[in-house]
Each structure stands twice: as structure tokens, then as C-alpha cells.
Amino acid sequence: MDSPSAPSETVFGLPPSIRPGVSLLGGTPPPERSDAARNRERILAAARVVIARDGIEYLTMDLLATEAGVGKGTIFRRFGSRTGVFRSLLDEAERDFQIRMMAGPPPLGPGADPIERLVAFGRARIEVLTTQGDLLRESEAPPEARYGVPARQVTEVHVMSLLRQAHVDGDLPVLAFNLISMLEAILILPPGAVRGITVPRLADGWEELVRRLVA
Amino acid sequence: MDSPSAPSETVFGLPPSIRPGVSLLGGTPPPERSDAARNRERILAAARVVIARDGIEYLTMDLLATEAGVGKGTIFRRFGSRTGVFRSLLDEAERDFQIRMMAGPPPLGPGADPIERLVAFGRARIEVLTTQGDLLRESEAPPEARYGVPARQVTEVHVMSLLRQAHVDGDLPVLAFNLISMLEAILILPPGAVRGITVPRLADGWEELVRRLVA
């Protein structure tokens, strides 16, 4: 996958410890040789196909090996376990989202009005968190690994920056914290499981709330 | 403890399955004889004293038996385990909150302007959720037991009803869902652990957000 190069860490004045591309679960991925990287991406691509086609609960190591056309030993060596595959998928989804948010096309990326960016941010984030929630539930991650992770800080700083650009006043760190908490509830409560609150309704609800907040 | 009798289930038109006083962790407490009830309340009162004085992590069964003036066997028979004590404390805190919210003095209880009730609701809820978060963390409850439990529905319906009374329009079930998710983040992220966001700041942030939403 060709992604645009990561933006410089000065985009939001983030300290290096929470720079873009930070792992959802903390830590830095080790460097890898290019054939290992190709293998890794091939396995992850196959995992994404199986999840989209069959559902995450059907992703076994046997099926993944068949779909990726590699031996099961290769997957275990690369990812350690089924949970290891999920963590890598989480990290890739997070990195991809952060790059779109900071350097992708508007309205999610730079160039649009800050309110339109905030609306687009929530809508896109709800989609990503829905997938991530499935991965986290399936890998039985503890709640602290779902909430309050380094990736959360990146999105909080982003939201705070947009609110400031839109000349919203008040305690912006708390407002940003609250807005991200609202979105991240999806990491724990699967949408649809909650009295028919679907992903599109949540996305529209986000837009409604943001426009009211800044009116 | 003398609590006012629970309000009738027609107060908010709640179906019986989510009527006031519902257990935070589901299920209905078994009936008990009055001496057993006294013993139970004595043990829970001692537990609240130890938690307030020493911190929850110091609450051992030995210390609890000494403080309550009962044998350790009595506590095990009544609560099963240390986690059982925490669950009972959670249930009592939840029931007590629901009674204050539905039948206590204004502005949390009936009689005040709906916006003032909503502000008071969030402020009081933040205090309760802070205590409950400690109990849930210490009893290692899974995230699903922290979020999306029956008690959540009672608060969502309450918030929805206040928003309707305040003539807020839009998708009120989603707005109420989002507002409760925001508050319930405290069940997972201990306030203060998050970049200096303290309980009073969260409470002020709630008020700011509510007044902006309904302006």
C-alpha cells in the first residue's frame, strides 16, 4: 500500500511522544526487511478480506494462512498469535486514519473550514472506531487498552486545535476530552447493539451536536 | 439508612425491566430477613468508611471484619467475596442516585427547570461515577459491565425526557446516548489520570456543554 509520507510532527505542535503514526497500543514497531514487510502486508490484506467477507469471528489462523497463501508458521513467526494479527490491524487502521486526518484531502484533511473538518472528523472516526471496536472486543483487550491510549491524545489535540480555529471559547481541553469520550464509546458498546442506534444515526448525531455547540 | 420509598414506575413511563432501583450489574437482589439486612448494611457502612479513610486498595476482608465488628465468615456468607462487597456498594450507590434523581429535592429532583435539572444531573452523576469507577476498576469488571448496563438506560431515558421538556429538537435518543457516553468515560478513565482533568473541571465542562447545546 502506498501511503503519503507521514507529516512532520510540527503540524499540531505535538511532542515527539504523541507524534502521528503512534501505535494504538503503545510502542514502536521494529524495523523490517522489505520481503518481510511484503509478507506482513500480504497477511494483513488477507485478514482484512476475511473480516469484511465472513466476519471477524471466522478469522482462524488456518483460514488466514490459506487466504494469504503462506504457511501458518510464517503468520505465527510474524504476529505471535491471532491477537497479534488484530493488534497489527488496529495499528495500521490508526496510522492510516491519522495520515488522512493530518495530510489527506479536505474536509477531513487540511484546507476546509474548521467546523466542516470537525464534522468530517467525527463521521470518519465513527467508521474507524466501529472496526477497531470489533478488533478490540475479539482480542479481549482490557478497557484501558481501548480508552486512554496514545492514539487518543492525537485525536484530542486535533479536536482542540479545530475548536480553537473556530473561535470556540471555554475549557477546550475538557470539551475535546468529552467529545472524544463520546466517540470512543463505540470501542466498548457496539453500535446497533444499543436500542437500534446505528452507525449512520451516530454519525448524523455527531454533526447535529457539533453544529449546535458552535452555533 | 432511611430512603424515601421508590417512585412508581410511571414517573418516566419506563418499562418494568428498567424501572428505578434496577441493579447496576443486572438481576434482582433476593429478599432478606431484617437481622440479615441490618448485618448487611453494617458491613457496607464499614466498607464505605474504610474506602473514604484509607482508599479502596486497602479494603481487605480482615480489615472489613474488624471495622464492622463481625466475623469474616459472616462477610463471606453474605457477599461471597471482596468483589461481592464492591458489587453491593455499586448497587447501593446506583439505587441511591436514582432515587435522588427521580424523587429527591430540586434541582436534581423534580421541580426545577429542565436545563437546571440537566446541569445538576451531570454534576451529581460525575461524582457517583467517580466512586463507581474506582469500585469497578478494583473488582476488575469487564468493560461491558462498566458500560451499557441496565442502569445506563435509566439515565438515558431521564436525559432524553429533560431534553424534550426543554424543547430541544433533533435525534434525542442519540443525543442522550452521546451525553451519557461522555459522562461514563469516567468509569474507565480515572479523572486526574488524564492530563490534569480533575472532577471539578469535568463538572464545569458538563455545564458549559449543556448550556451551549440548548442555547
Domain end residue (candidates: B80, B100, B117): B80
**For position A157, which CATH number holds?**
1.10.357
Which of A80, A112, A146 is at the close of a domain? A80
Say if residues A186 and A129 touch (Cβ distance below 8 Å). yes
Residue A157 sits in the same domain as residue A69: no
Looking at the structure, tell me whether residues A173 and A199 fall in a common domain: yes
Contacts of A10 (CB under 8 A, 6+ apart): none
Please indicate, yes or no, whether residues A61 and A157 belong to a single structural domain of this protein: no
Find the chain A residues whose C-beta atoms sit closer than 8 A to any C-beta of B.
142-144, 146-148, 170-171, 173-175, 177-179, 181-182, 184-185, 188-189, 193-195, 197, 201-202, 204-206, 208-209, 212-213, 215
In-domain check, residue A148? yes
Contact state of A170 with B215 under an 8 Å Cβ cutoff: no
Q: What is the pLDDT of residue B196?
A: 82
For B172, the closest chain A residue by CA position comes to: A205
Q: Which residues of chain A have pLDDT under 70?
A: 1-32, 143-150, 193
Q: How far is A205 from chain B (nearest CA, A)?
A: 6
**Between chains, do B181 and A189 touch, taking CB under 8 Å as contact?**
yes
pLDDT at position B33 is 75
Report if residue A63 sits inside a domain: yes
The predicted structure's pLDDT at residue A14: 33
Closest C-alpha to A126, from A196, A68, A205: A205
Question: Based on the domain organization, do A72 and A134 belong to the same domain?
Answer: no
pLDDT in tens, A162-208: 999 999 999 999 999 999 999 988 888 877 767 788 999 999 999 99
Distance CA B18, CA B23 (A): 9
Q: Within this chain, do residues A64 and A37 fall inside the same structural domain, yes or no?
A: yes
Clarify whether residues A49 and A149 are in a common domain.
no
Asked if residue B11 belongs to a domain, the reply is no
Does B96 share its domain with B165? Answer: yes
Residue A174 lies inside a defined structural domain of this protein: yes
Same domain, A66 and A114: no
Long-range CB pairs of B168-175, under 8 A, 24+ apart, other chains included? B168/B213, B168/B214, B170/A205, B170/A208, B170/A212, B171/A201, B171/A204, B171/A205, B171/A208, B173/A195, B173/A197, B174/A197, B174/A201, B174/A202, B174/A204, B174/A205, B174/A208, B175/A205, B175/A208, B175/A209, B175/B213
Asked if residue B162 lies in contact with residue B175, where contact means CB atoms within 8 angstroms, the answer is: no
pLDDT at B161: 97
3-state secondary structure B40-85: HHHHHHHHHHHHHHHCHHHCCHHHHHHHHCCCHHHHHHHHCCHHHH
Contact call for A177 and B197, based on CB within 8 A:
yes
**Same-domain check for residues A69 and A169:** no
CB A14 within 8 A of CB A157: yes
What is residue B21's predicted lDDT score, i.e. its pLDDT? Answer: 43
- Which has the closest alpha carbon to A47: A23, A80, A69? A69
CATH classification of the domain holding B52: 1.10.10.60
Report the distance separating Cα B94 and Cα B151, nearest Å: 7
Q: Same structural domain for residues B92 and B186?
A: yes
In a domain, B97, yes or no: yes
The verdict on residue B12 lying in a domain is no
| Inter-chain touch B212–A213, beta carbons under 8 Å | yes
Per-residue pLDDT 10s for chain B (215 aa) are: 333 433 333 222 233 333 344 444 545 556 667 888 888 999 999 999 999 999 999 999 999 999 999 999 999 999 999 999 998 999 899 999 999 999 999 999 999 999 999 999 999 999 999 888 888 888 877 766 666 566 788 999 999 999 999 999 999 999 999 999 999 988 888 777 677 889 999 999 999 999 999 98
Could you tell me if residue A9 is inside a domain?
Answer: no
Distance, CA of A99 to CA of B77 (rounded, Å): 56
Interface test with A, best of B115, B144, B168, B188 (most A CBs within 10 A): B188
- Chain B residues touching A139 at Cβ < 8 A: none
Rounded to an integer, what distance in angstroms lies between the CA atom of residue A178 and that of residue A185? 11
CA B177/CA B145 separation, integer angstroms = 17
The reply to whether A110 and A196 lie within a common domain is: yes
The domain of A127 spans 83-215
A21, part of any domain: no
Checking ipTM against 0.85, whether it exceeds it is no
Q: How far is B195 from chain A (nearest CA, A)?
A: 9
Q: Are residues B211 and B137 in the same domain?
A: yes
Instruction: Enumerate the residues of chain B whose CB falls inside 8 A of the CB of residue A213.
Output: 209, 212-213
**Contact by Cβ (8 Å): A203, A123:** yes
Domain's final residue, options A55, A80, A105: A80
What's the number of domains chain A is made of?
Answer: 2
